[in-house]
Amino acid sequence: MRVGIGYDVHKLVENRDLIIGGVNIPHEKGLLGHSDADVLLHAIMDSILGALSLGDIGKHFPDNDPKYKGANSLKLLERVGNLIHNKGYKVSNIDSTIIAQRPKMASYISKMRENIARVLNIDIDSINVKATTEEGLGFTGNEEGISSQAICLLIPIDKK
């Protein structure tokens, strides 16, 4: 069994879509980044890559590579999911947290879980997504950015 943790943060800016967990969330600002800046999926990918000892998303999808400009992070997650199988593992579970003062995430979490489970081809009960505020403290509390943390457990594929 292998465990990995991931963290990501992006700045909130005007004239960008807010995409978290593959869901376009209505909000007056979006996250700044080379790709779609999906903090949740980026943290999840980093947790998986860490568990596999394969570096981080910057190594696999560099932000100076034009082919990843505006990339859909669900597609990137799918590529990371292929690495799990290729290394002889499968996802046991993923637990993640979105840290944002606004917007409230509760009504979007079930769709985020569905997206992640579908792309990784795992049971939705293996995915947990939570959201919290920081009570107005720090950069997330001041609505300057949104961050996310994730941890995953990978287990060997049962080769019968």
Rounded Cα gap, residues 108 and 43, in angstroms: 17
Helix, strand, coil percent content, the chain, rounded in steps of 5? 35, 30, 35
Q: Residues forming the annotated binding site for a divalent metal cation? A: 8, 10, 42
Give the number of other CB atoms < 10 A from CB of residue 32: 14
Residue that the structure tokens 């879509």 belong to: 17
At 23, is the secondary structure helix, strand, or coil?
A: strand
Instruction: Please report, as a single letter, which amino acid is at residue 11.
Output: K
Q: Residues forming the annotated binding site? A: 8-10, 34-35, 42, 56-58, 61-65, 100-106, 132-135, 139
